[in-house]
Amino acid sequence: MQALFVDKLTNIDFAYFHPERGIVGESLILDVELFGELNDEGMLFDFSFVKKRIKSCVDKLIDHKFLVARHQRNLIIEQSPQQLTLKLQTENGDNYCHTSPEQAVYLIEDENVTTQSIEAVLKKEILNILPENVTRIELRLYAEKIDGDFYHYTHGLKKHFGDCQRIAHGHRSKIEVLENSEYSEKWSAHIAEIWQDIYLATEEDISNSEMIDGVDYWVFEYHANQGLFHLTIPKHRCYLIKTDTTVELIASYLAEYLKEKNPDSEFKVKAFEGVDKGAIFFV
């Protein structure tokens, strides 16, 4: 039996619900191995088709979506023709409410969202789009190896015409701060610490605030071209900025934030959006 492999076939950016951490942004890398018999062309499968078909399948299923385990504790699902509402609760009692078009959510048939449960979903769906001579596939999902500082963040970009408009999609991202042209371990670690598992939100998207069982919550809501998006989330899990939360504006916000703390220093902030992409701002 022959095997074909493609390492780092694609990167997947999404958010998922964790029973302790709440809504978490994540970025994973996908490796693929295909097993089967050679076709009449002496090939298992054309590399160009491997990349296009599998990436398209993965993007449609998972990328820029909010992943929730259907059999998770304390999950309430309310569905209408236009909207899907998920009410969730963490182990410490924090409440979340996420409303969106159904296409912005993927419900995994498991008790928790894990790399293994995601791999199982992808394996089943990808095998269905491959030719008959491909009889088995193996997948490996893993996080980027980062030696420096990083943080997990979730956000939504209401002005985006693609899937970034979804109110709870996210990334696992490196952060690199240079102060006076020298890498600053201090400030890189500071940003990673204050934005650990954070929801980055735009102030104008606030529609309300409320208190539930003694905990303060923000309610965010906006209409985008895919439909209505709504998110209720504990205030202590949010960080508000005045602008939208594109990676370009994140980089400029962080540089200005650091400049205020140290006016006599020059800063360069390299903010990543997932794996191997992002924005740089100098101040």
- Each residue's pLDDT tens digit, 15-72: 999 999 999 999 999 999 988 887 777 776 677 777 888 999 999 999 999 999 999 9
CA-CA distance, 162 to 147, in Å (whole number)? 32
Instruction: Specify the pTM.
Output: 0.94
Report the share of the chain in percent with pLDDT over 90. 84
pLDDT (average), residues 175-189: 97
186: helix, coil or strand?
Answer: helix
CATH of 2-282, one of 3.30.479.10, 3.20.20.210, 3.40.50.300, 3.10.290.10: 3.30.479.10
Q: Looking at residue 27, what is its pLDDT?
A: 98
Task: Determine how β-strand 227-234 pairs with β-strand 198-202.
Answer: unpaired
CA-CA distance, 239 to 205, in Å (whole number)? 13
49: helix, coil or strand?
Answer: helix
Q: Looking at residue 30, what is its pLDDT?
A: 97
Inform me whether the pLDDT recorded for 260 exceeds 90.
yes
Inform me whether the pLDDT recorded for 150 exceeds 90.
yes
Q: Which two tokens stand for residue 62?
A: 């998972």
Strand ranges for the chain from DSSP E:
2-18, 22-36, 66-69, 76-79, 84-89, 95-100, 105-108, 134-142, 150-155, 169-179, 182-183, 198-202, 206-212, 215-224, 227-234, 238-241, 267-272, 278-282
CA-CA distance, 20 to 258, in Å (whole number)? 31
User: Closest by alpha carbon to 149, among 186, 200, 118, 94?
Assistant: 186
Identify the helix (H) or strand (E) that includes residue 60. helix 47-61
254 neighbors 269 (Cβ within 8 angstroms)? yes
271 neighbors 251 (Cβ within 8 angstroms)? yes
CA-CA distance, 263 to 257, in Å (whole number)? 10
pLDDT (average), residues 193-199: 97
User: Closest by alpha carbon to 57, among 105, 139, 129, 134?
Assistant: 129
Q: Which two tokens stand for residue 188?
A: 């890189």
pLDDT (average), residues 75-87: 94
225 exposure class (CB count in 10 Å sphere: 0-12, 13-18, 19+): exposed
